[in-house]
Every structure is written in C-alpha cells, then in structure tokens.
Structure 1
Amino acid sequence: MDRRTYLKASSGAVAALGLAGCLGDSGGSGSDDNGDNGDGEKTSSDGKDGADGGKIIVGSDIPYKPFEYRKADGSLEGFDPAIAEAVFKGQLGREYEFQKTSFDTIIQSLKNKSFRVIMSAMTITDKRAEKVDFSDPYFTAYQTVAIRKGGDIGKLDDLKGKTVAVQKGTTGESAAEDLKKEFDGSLSIDSYDQITGAFNALSNKQAVAVINDNTVNAQFVNEKDGIVFLEGKGEAEKQGKKAPPYLTLTVEEYGIAFRQDDDELRKKVNDAIKTIKDDGTYDEIYGEYFEG
C-alpha cells in the first residue's frame, strides 16, 4: 500500500463507536517506564478471563489527534479507535474499551495489568520490544519538524542553539535527542506531558519547532495559520520510501503492544490486521483520516 502523507481537513469515521471508558493522551511513540492509569479511573479486569472472552481493555494516551481524541460530546474518535473497532469487534467479536493513561508510563501500566493491550500510535522500537511484544505493523509514520512560517528556521541546521518542543517518552523526543548529539549538544529540548503543550510552546514562541509524528504535526499545520513543516530531504528519501514533501528525520512503524505472555491474542490480532488490509476495510478507515 502506498504511504499517504496528508491529513484530511475533517475526519469523522467513528464518532459513535460506542466506546466506554476514559481519555488518554497518546503520542505517536511511546514510553518505557513505570506508571499508572493516569486519570484515577480504574478497571477491574484486563480483559482476560478463563475462556479468554472478556472485554479487552485498551490503554491509550488521549488527546493525540488524529489517532485518538474526544469530541465535544465526549465520544471517542480517531484512527486507532476505528482500527480497534474493525479488529476487536469486527474480526474477533470482542467487546473493548479505551482507558486513559499517560504515555510516558504506558508500558509499565500494561505490565501491571491495568489493561490488556496498548493502542496509542506507538512506534515499534528495539528498546520497547525488550518489554512488550508487538503486533505486525499497522501504520507507517515519520518524525517531522513543525515551525512558524516566516521565522528564522529554514533548514535543519538552523535549529542549532535553539529550543525545540516534544512530548515526553515519544520517539519525537528520541529524535530530538539524536539531533542534539549531532549538534554537539547545541540544542535545548523542552519535553511536555502532552503534545498539546509542545504545540502551545511553538505558538507562544517558547520553542522554535515541534518534533513529532508527521500526521499529528499535519493536524496542527492544517488547523493553525502560520505553522508549516520544515522542508528538505530526509530519511524517507534515503530509504527509498515514497517521501512526503517535507523533511523526515525517521521512518517508523506503529504496532499494538501486548504483554509478553499474551501470544494467543497477539496472533489473532495479527490475523485480523491482515484481513482488514486484504478486504479494503483498512483503506476505508485510512481514507477517513488521511489524504492521498
């Protein structure tokens, strides 16, 4: 499947999926540390019972538009909830519920059995794979740089000596740290609990750029006048990918995360992902949220 690069201006595939539970914040990339559910809301089950037929509790960090967020009426919206509906309800015949959790503690919360799986725009990395097992990839993303239009940043090197904003525990934060090493330490990184904090810092001129997943940056670029992508050639083109028309720092794959003793469910989910890709369901969902 060709990689698409632009967000739709408005998306609304799953406004009423009937998902109970909490919000979360997400962050296209994830965490590796200790944590809790993050909002005081508890669940009595991790979705696993003797017959393995219980409700599947899904840990997620919200808001992380367009992957998971709440609409004004409180209903859950986003690409990840739509994929969950197709996989868990449509293919596996299982009830499911999204539960809010902080992204920088989400893996430890999974290991503590606060929920059954993680769906939170989480990038598959070797470091995370030491602690959880991932499904087959279901989304390709790039780390990108959002900047103010007409500012002092015209190329990547212009970030030297400046401050960039990221979300804690994400691969955007990791990409910024790698860039800091490349700049011999000449870069300041402000890390925020939620991506909205990073975007606010850019708008308020507390940072010159936000480093984050392309689709989430695109949402901000589309909605805010005066915010654009930093242009240039990057990692996607180096790897021979169908590169988007802006700078890419990394090429990444998202996966659903499972505890390392949950092989049976993981295999069923992999089969379900393959099915929705083969039968066109995935493309329909994708088209609701992304252009191209």
Structure 2
Amino acid sequence: MKKLSSLMLMCVLFAGILAACGTDEGDSSNGADGNDAEKKELVMGTSADYPPFEYIDTAEGDDIIGLDVDIAKAVTEKLGYEFTVKDMDFAGLIQALQSGQVDFVLSAMSATDERKESVDFSEIYYTSKHMIVSQAGSGIESVEDLAGKTVGVQLGSIQESKGDELAEEVDMTIESRNRIPELIQEIKAGRFDAAIIEDTVAQGYFEENEDLDGFTVEDADGGYAIALPKDSELTEEFNGALQEMIDNGELDEIIKKWFEGE
C-alpha cells in the first residue's frame, strides 16, 4: 500500500513538473511575440557641439536639437523606427558605430574615401566649406598668413585632415581638441592663433562673438551624409527615405529652418 501511495505521489509530482514546463514555454513564446510587436528603436550617435547641426540650447532645456536631429526624426518616422540620441566626442563616433554602441551616426560627418573603408554612407544631404577663424584684427586674412601660427582643429573631423593638408603647404602647427567650443576658447585665450571650422558653424560663433573673424577656403571634401555600419541593411532603407525627402522638398525645408529661420 505504501509502495502504491509513493508511486501515485511520484506521478502527481511528475505531472506537475510537466505542467510547469509547459507554462514556462508558453510564457516564453508570448514574450517573444510581444517583443516582435514592439516598435523598433535605433540609437543615433552624434557630437552635440556643432550648431546648427546638433547642439544643446541650455536656455531651452537639455535636449539635443538641430538640423541633423530633425533629419533623423523624419527618416526614422518614415521607416517605422523610434530613435534616441547618444552624445559623444566626434572622434569616437565611427568606433561606436563599429562596436554596436550606436546604430547610425548623424553628426555633420563628411563621407570621405577614408571613412568609407570603415562604414557605409547614405546619399549626401549637405555640402559645406572650411573657414579659418581667428581673433578680429589678427591680420590673418589668407592661408599664407598662417605661417608660423598654431591652428586648432576638431579631433577626427574633416577639418583635421584639411589642417594637415594645409600644413604641407604652409609651415604651421596643428593642434586638435575634442569639441568646437574648446577651439573657440583656445583662440580667445591666445593659445591658438586660428582654427579651421565648418563655415555655417563658424557663422554662428561670429554672431555671438564680435571679436572673432574669418574667411573661407576651398570646399570641403565630400559632403555630409548619414554613417551606418558596413554592409548594413539600414543603408538602403535610409537612402530610400532620404531620397524621398530630397524629391518632395522636405529636406530643403529642414535646411531652411535651421539656416534661414523659416
């Protein structure tokens, strides 16, 4: 009798274990279905020190805003994604993309041949020029005037490459910093004689600092594009959305908003 009771008890326990396993499997399946149903979210990498492309207006709040953020919002909405913005130094953006910390980069990044070896780029959405920025009255009015001077550039930027190129023509010292405001402060402090900055970004600093002046040099290599992981399926999706914005005038409206205040 005791043996029979023990056998029945074991059967009950075994049935309970099977039921529990069945419940766990069902819960796991439901969870997977739930995850598939959730809206996809991407992480955008940027360096928020580059108005009007990406920056924080501290008078308005802590959000990163700008032309690139608006483009990211428009593109991701068209493709059915949500996105968040991750701020970091410009020089670390490609590494962050390669390591999977971010899904795409929108940070006024030029699509140079060198960068194309590491990442994919979308179609060009904006072209720019370089500007040599210095203290007003410095006497620096041409590239030749930079001879013997110390010139600042943003680390990892197309302007850093331009600085190295100009240094082969004119004897100057090139020093890099992580952020554009650092370059401006170094000029004001007298540690830099000048800095090479993208022209529309420089214009913003001229409006806020009457003691700064500058002149443009030849067009920057390439143009600004969205950077994505090498061989990413997102590249084709982003290009399709971006081309649609170019064709219907939406991209022009975003650019006018940030450069003309419309």
Using the size of structure 2 for normalisation, the TM-score is: 0.81
Q: From 33, 38, 46, give the equivalent of 1:60.
A: 46
Q: Distance in 1 between matches of 2:94 and 2:240?
A: 23
| Structure 2 counterpart of 1:278 | 247
Shift of 1:55: 0.2
Structure 2 residue runs without a partner (length 5+):
1-34
Q: CA RMSD of the aligned region, Å?
A: 1.9
Tell me the CA shift for residue 152 of structure 1.
2.2
- Partner in structure 2 of residue 20 of structure 1: none
| Residue 93 of structure 1, CA deviation | 2.2
Equivalent position amino acid for 2:68 in 1 = D
User: Any residues of structure 2 matched to 1:1-292 within 5 Å, and which?
Assistant: 54-72=40-58, 73-89=61-77, 91-183=78-170, 186-230=171-215, 246-248=216-218, 250-262=220-232, 264-291=233-260
- Pick closer, same or farther for the CA change 1:142–1:252 going to 2, 3 Å: farther
Partners of 2:115 and 2:36 in 1: CA distance: 28
The structural deviation recorded for 1:249 is: 5.5
The alignment partner of 1:266 has SS state of helix
Q: Distance in 2 between matches of 1:249 and 1:187?
A: 21
Secondary structure of 1:247's match? strand
SS in 2 for 1:253: coil
The structure in which a higher percent of residues are helix is 2
In structure 1, runs of 5+ residues without a counterpart are 1-48, 231-245
C-alpha contact 2:149 2:173 (8 A) present in aligned 1: yes
SS at match of 2:197: strand
TM-score by length of 1: 0.73
Give the Cα–Cα distance (whole angstroms) in 2 for the partners of residues 251 and 122 of structure 1. 11
SS of the residue 1:166 aligns to: strand
- Aligned-pair distance for 1:250? 3.0
- State the secondary structure of the residue aligned to 2:76: helix
Given that residues 56 and 96 in structure 1 are in contact (C-alpha distance below 8 angstroms), is that contact kept between their aligned partners in structure 2?
A: yes
Deviation at 1:109, TM superposition (A): 1.3
**Greater C-alpha radius of gyration:** 2
